[in-house]
Chains A and B, each alone.
Chain A
Amino acid sequence: NAGVTQTPKFQVLKTGQSMTLQCAQDMNHNSMYWYRQDPGMGLRLIYYSASEGTTDKGEVPNGYNVSRLNKREFSLRLESAAPSQTSVYFCASIFTSGQGILAYGYTFGSGTRLTVV
């Protein structure tokens, strides 16, 4: 089925280890986003990519890097994991077509549950 696919679904890391969370969409969306969700904090934007070849920081970018590999794929990298990065990570995408085209909503992946010990 068309949608946003995230891998892995679960991961346990030791402090200081690195890993990359993968996200891919097959809906020809041009904008992609990484969020983290923590109890009591809601969803917070880490990084986003408005179009292929561009990336920008969101609310909580520290400790993360991203790569927009192509139009379909947007990865999130933790270079040196910390316990504060224990969270559920969601990737989302949307089709945007300039100002005035308002019709579209966001599609989310099913999440990656990351624990850093």
Chain B
Amino acid sequence: KQEVTQIPAALSVPEGENLVLNCSFTDSAIYNLQWFRQDPGKGLTSLLLIQSSQREQTSGRLNASLDKSSGRSTLYIAASQPGDSATYLCAVRPAGGNNRLAFGKGNQVVVIP
């Protein structure tokens, strides 16, 4: 069974610092990995999708890397802003089977003005 772990569970950083969020997964047989953002009381918003054949994806201040062989992904957020405060969820889509996502429990981020 695929297990996804996100470390740290919670962190606070001063505005302007770069954020580094880690996601690890136990089975490297994946189709892709997706990072989501969730604001308190809200739904999930997709941030980045990395295919298993890719090493990274970028969107604005966000960059996500994938090392499939070691079972790791990292989400970098450059020059953090208070509006980046949210929970960030990592989800892995296993290869084969029924397309059921395996989720981590999230990194809860607070950016301090």
Using a CB–CB cutoff of 8 Å, the interface residues on chain A facing chain B are 31, 33, 40-43, 45, 48, 50, 56, 58, 90, 92, 94, 96, 99, 102-111, 113
Q: Which B positions have Cβ atoms within 8 angstroms of A?
A: 31-32, 34, 36, 41-46, 49, 51-53, 89, 91, 93, 96, 98-101, 103-106
Known: A103-B51, A105-B49, A108-B43. A45 touches B34 (CB 8 A): no
The answer on a CB contact under 8 Å between A102 and B98 is: no
What's the A-B contact tally at a CB cutoff of 8 Å?
Answer: 56
**Which residues does chain A contribute within 8 Å of B106, judged by CB atoms?**
42
Beta-carbon contact of B32 and A99 below 8 Å:
no
Q: Does B99 lie within 8 Å of A102, measured CB to CB?
A: no
Cβ contacts A to B, 27 pairs, < 8 Å: A42-B104, A42-B105, A42-B106, A43-B89, A43-B101, A43-B103, A48-B99, A50-B98, A92-B44, A92-B101, A96-B99, A99-B96, A102-B32, A102-B51, A102-B52, A103-B51, A105-B49, A106-B34, A106-B93, A106-B101, A108-B36, A108-B43, A108-B45, A109-B43, A110-B43, A111-B42, A111-B43
